Structure 1
Amino acid sequence: MSYFDQIDKNRIPEHIAIIMDGNGRWAKRQGLDRTEGHKEGLAAVKRTIEAASKLNASYVTLYTFSLENWKRPKEEVDALMMLMIKAVADETANMIENNVQLKAIGNLDMLPPKTRAALDKCIEDTSVSTGPSIILALSYSSKWELANAAKEIAVELKNGKIKEEDINEDLMAAHLTTKAFPDPDLLIRTGGELRISNFLLWQLAYAEFYFTDELWPEFNGESLYKAIVDYQNRERRYGKTSEQISTERKQEIN
């Protein structure tokens, strides 16, 4: 039986976040240049988007390029930016056909003009879709995001738009780049590393974590479905006891 058949279709995580790790290591194992690993990683992105669409997952956030990644060799960064231009252009029609919207979060002003233009065009063209949202975390850093939110709140406080007592979790969340989306229910990280690498530090507070040794270019639909089966076998308590959760479920049924 496939993992897809084991999934309770009524309990699909609303928001799935993925740290796509292992492109470079995959390429090295194949005796290829790192850029070839990123190209194969794009194929994994396409497979994952199609698999998520099949489940009607509402949001999928892909950690595509971090602020720290700008420190990589210029040749690799330039190749990644060119690859991104081609990818969003090539996949726009497919996303529209599958009723998928493209979104992006991060310090997008740092992207090269051609990359930003291609990204903006794909976002605009797919805005007609009403189905799942694929969110690219580009030039993204959670520490940058939190610091930026704190600066915005400080300016509002200084200008008298808010009072000190207005500052709470809801206000903070409203100043994050993810303010238009619900927090992730499930975080998947490929590549065998057991860390979240400065990704959605605020938003992952109550997410379930799933780590796999698969390198990102090896990831496919069944890989995603396996992670969701694992997620559905967990009990999400949000600080409550198992007994409280059980009682609440019984009340919902009745």
Structure 2
Amino acid sequence: MSNLSSPVLPQHIAIIMDGNRRWAKKRLMPAAVGHAAGAQRVRDIVKMCAELGIAQLSLFAFSTENWKRPEDEVSSLMNLFMIYLKKEIHSMNSNGVRLKVLGDTSRFSAPLQALIAMAEEKTAGNQAITLNVCANYGGRWDMVQATKAWQRAHPDLPLDALTEESLAPYLSTADAPEVDLLVRTGGESRISNFMLWQAAYAEMFFCEDLWPDFTEEKLQQAIQWFSKRDRRFGSSAPL
């Protein structure tokens, strides 16, 4: 892997990991095989981001809409998530990866919830990179739960007191910078209810590669593309 020539790095990369099922279908394999191949790809991308000095990496693993998929596929995804949590703890600690699972985890089984809590606790002190695995997550859900949390914290304040600045600390990504670069694999050009608030000013990189085929070199390409963007954040002149 060659070094990036530009010093301009995104501090928060978010990735919609699309194409696992199509990857498997092309190979006449069940969807579960594609998801397993995608999970293996995660390790390589996380390691690369940690080495580059990316502070935050958010991966869209399971959306609030994914419950609509066939029951056997959802079950295999949950099992894969459990296997990943058990298997990757040592690797995450070795590479300084702090794991956070963002989303409504209350719908998951008790064993999976316990594994999530254990993995978050065991990696809490790591500082090389924060890996946000977004599971049973949706951007709309995030904003609604944040609003409810703000209201619970300020029961005596009227709704008129709610501002963007006061709501932000209640989002699931309260301790993370906003998304700089949003990547979607799989050839689709939409963000599918992912980090709607956090990606308001993100640069969006869409590519044809199916997620299991998304290499470190492809991520390099996305970061190089990002480094050349003229990010104005609504102003009329370059910053």
Normalised to the residue count of structure 2, the TM-score between the two structures is: 0.95
Contact 1:42/1:87 (8 A) holds in 2:
yes
2: CA distance between counterparts of 1:128 and 1:203?
24
Alignment-derived partner of residue 172 in structure 2: 177
Aligned-residue RMSD, C-alpha: 1.5
After TM superposition, list the pairs within 5 Å mapping 1:54-69 onto structure 2: 54-69=51-66
1: CA distance between counterparts of 2:114 and 2:74?
17
Matched, 1:141 2:138: yes
After TM superposition, list the pairs within 5 Å mapping 1:221-240 onto structure 2: 221-240=216-235
Q: How far 1:145 sits from its partner (Å)?
A: 1.5
Q: How far 1:147 sits from its partner (Å)?
A: 1.7
Q: How far 1:163 sits from its partner (Å)?
A: 4.5
2: CA distance between counterparts of 1:6 and 1:156?
44
- Consecutive unaligned residues of structure 1, counting only runs of 5 or more, are 246-254
Contact 1:14/1:185 (8 A) holds in 2:
yes
1: CA distance between counterparts of 2:215 and 2:128?
21
1: CA distance between counterparts of 2:129 and 2:3?
21
Q: Give the aligned residue type for 2:188.
A: E
2:163 aligned to which of 154, 157, 168: 168
Q: Give the aligned residue type for 1:5.
A: N
Contact 1:7/1:228 (8 A) holds in 2:
no
After TM superposition, list the pairs within 5 Å mapping 1:210-225 onto structure 2: 210-225=205-220
Q: How far 1:144 sits from its partner (Å)?
A: 1.3
Q: How far 1:88 sits from its partner (Å)?
A: 1.2
Tell me which protein shows more helix as a share of its residues: 1
Larger radius of gyration: 1
Alignment-derived partner of residue 250 in structure 1: none
> Bigger CA drift: 224-233 or 173-182?
173-182
2:120 aligned to which of 123, 126, 134: 123
1: CA distance between counterparts of 2:143 and 2:159?
18
Contact 1:7/1:225 (8 A) holds in 2:
no
Normalised to the residue count of structure 1, the TM-score between the two structures is: 0.90
2: CA distance between counterparts of 1:206 and 1:241?
15
2: CA distance between counterparts of 1:84 and 1:21?
16
2: CA distance between counterparts of 1:240 and 1:21?
33
User: 1:200-229 deviations in whole A, cap 9, x for unaligned?
Assistant: 111111100000000000012111111000
2:202 aligned to which of 207, 226, 238: 207
What SS does the aligned partner of 1:127 have? coil
> Bigger CA drift: 164-173 or 191-200?
164-173
Q: How far 1:177 sits from its partner (Å)?
A: 1.1
What SS does the aligned partner of 2:59 have? strand
Matched, 1:72 2:69: yes
What SS does the aligned partner of 2:123 have? helix
Alignment-derived partner of residue 32 in structure 2: 35
User: 1:40-66 deviations in whole A, cap 9, x for unaligned?
Assistant: 001110110111111010000000001
- Consecutive unaligned residues of structure 2, counting only runs of 5 or more, are none
2: CA distance between counterparts of 1:164 and 1:26?
47
Q: Give the aligned residue type for 1:208.
A: E
1: CA distance between counterparts of 2:93 and 2:149?
35
